[in-house]
């Protein structure tokens, strides 16, 4: 079954990029300089930032549903990225290289199933979850830190 992984839209974060540290703090955000790779996975490009590159670390509501699973967590975004990752049947580098927690949700925002997998072997899990009739979409999280990584949707249905 075909799947589509998308990064977050950069326009959502653009108002934050030029803020000073005090203004960022009012948005529960901080500026960081990438000091190693891997380590700063951008949720727009779904690639790790390059050493020396500035990123924003902020709280993001990745599951704005009206259910007990409503959720937010810390994410990195790279101001230099102008377009989100968006591909069919392609696992982006930031997901491919990490241990993932994949959570399957129904149309009401309730978890149907969840599993841990290495990003290098995530495709069979995606296929298994999308074979369940009540699964509407998936969320991938970086398992070690718990941060939201990306949304995964069926493609072609």
pLDDT in tens, 71-97: 899 999 999 999 999 999 999 999 999
pTM (global) more than 0.95: no
Count of alpha carbons within 13 Å of 82, Cβ hemisphere only?
A: 0
Tallying the residues shown for the chain, one arrives at 157
Position 39 scores a pLDDT of 87
CA distance 102 to 114: 6
Q: Where are the domains of the chain?
A: 3-154
- Helical ranges in 8-153 per DSSP H: 21-26, 93-96, 122-130
């Amino acid at each position: 079954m075909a799947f589509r992984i998308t990064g977050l839209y950069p326009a959502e974060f653009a108002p934050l990029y030029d803020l000073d540290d005090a203004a960022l703090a009012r948005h529960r955000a901080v500026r960081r300089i990438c000091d190693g790779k891997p380590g700063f996975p951008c949720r727009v490009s779904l690639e790790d930032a390059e050493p020396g590159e500035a990123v924003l670390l902020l709280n993001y509501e990745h599951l704005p549903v009206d259910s007990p699973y409503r959720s937010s967590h810390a994410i990195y975004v790279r101001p230099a990225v102008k377009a989100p990752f968006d591909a069919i049947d392609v696992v982006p580098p930031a997901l491919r290289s990490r241990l993932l927690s994949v959570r399957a949700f129904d149309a009401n925002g309730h978890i149907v199933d969840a599993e841990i997998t290495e990003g290098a072997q995530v495709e069979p899990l995606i296929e298994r979850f999308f074979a369940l009739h009540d699964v509407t979409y998936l969320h991938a999280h970086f398992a070690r830190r718990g941060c939201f990584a990306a949304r995964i949707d069926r493609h072609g249905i």
